[in-house]
Amino acid sequence: MPPARNVELKAHDPDPEATHRAAIAFGAADAGTLTQRDTYFPVPRGRLKLREQDGTTAQLIAYHRADAATARTSSYDRIDVPDPDTLIGALRATHGPGPVVRKERRLLLWENVRIHLDDVAGLGRFVELEAVAADDAGDLDAEHRKVADLRAALGIADDRIVAEGYAQLLTRVAAPDDLIDGARVAMGRAYVPYSHFRVGAALRSVGDAATVHLGANVENAAYPQTQCAEASAIGALIAAGGTRIAEVAVMADTPLITPCGGCRQRLAELAGPDTPVHLCGPEGVRQTVTLAQLLPYAFDAAAMESGA
């Protein structure tokens, strides 16, 4: 029997409730919330995971899917597993350990499209569209059209689309506790007598993974003289002898803290486009993005040399 197929699109979702309202307005039906744990295993070809859902069912899923920041085709086979713990132990013993992705998934259904509003532990909020093809489907043009129509209805812009799967994102950008703890400490020390809005930042420099450089926002009665937390942390990193930023954490007690435009440019001076930036609340990471996602057209030394 040939594998099942679908057309998938994944994107960051800064406002899941707004996405939910837009999906309902488009005609989708809310099918409730699922709790899932996906355990991945390294394999020579394709991808392999065991999905446990709501603590009651489990399936082994083998699939192939390209990494691309667009709608892409996935082919997959699913096998029901009656004893997931034993299978996980056997696969880890023979294939080695892989990442574990935990998420709360709000499921909506529109025709043959599954709309997933995912809250992924350690990564944040995402929206995922899956147009499931019929077994006898030839090309998948109809599925691509439906994903495109839904994308437009939900307002998913290009800069929100994610090329990689959750397991890859989690492996690449999982923030160590000391970085998050540092941002939390810095937030608590912020000098904010006017706004009372505390922000903490923590940076790790390239070549010195053991040291975390902290910065807090420092306000001034002359408002333009206020210093952002990211700028404070960059100064600490430079003073300690660092020259390049490997990883960033920014924390505030707000729905989603993001660096201001000036601080995005400051970070771009010392960090690369793939540098992970962890956007945190007091409890930990809420979303992780790359610097290129925050500042897709950074002004850099190359732009100066070209006369831009």
Confirm whether residue 212 is marked as ligand binding: no
- Phi, psi dihedrals of residue 142, rounded to the nearest 5°: -65, -40
Q: Is 247 exposed, middle or buried (0-12, 13-18, 19+ CB in 10 A)?
A: buried
Distance CA 151, CA 52 (A): 28
Best CA proximity match to 119, nearest among 111, 130, 127: 127
229-239 vs 177-188: helix axis angle to the nearest 10? 120
Q: For residues 12, 17, 22 and 25, what is the CA-based torsion angle, rounded to 10 degrees?
A: 150
222 is in an annotated binding site: yes
- The amino acid at residue 207 is G
Round to whole Å and give the CA distance between 17 and 42. Answer: 35
217 is in an annotated binding site: yes
Q: Does 280 appear as a known binding residue?
A: no
Rounded Cα–Cα distance for residues 257 and 197 (Å): 11
Active site residue 230: yes
Q: Find out whether 112 is annotated in a ligand binding site.
A: no
Distance CA 293, CA 163 (A): 12
Distance separating alpha carbons of residues 26 and 9, to the nearest angstrom: 17
Catalytic choice (8, 143, 230, 247):
230
Residue 63 annotated as part of some ligand binding site:
no
Task: Give catalytic residues, as residue numbers.
Answer: 230
Q: Which residues are annotated as a binding site?
A: 217-223, 228, 260, 263
Q: Which residues are annotated as a binding site for Zn(2+)?
A: 228, 260, 263
Q: Which residues are annotated as a binding site for substrate?
A: 217-223
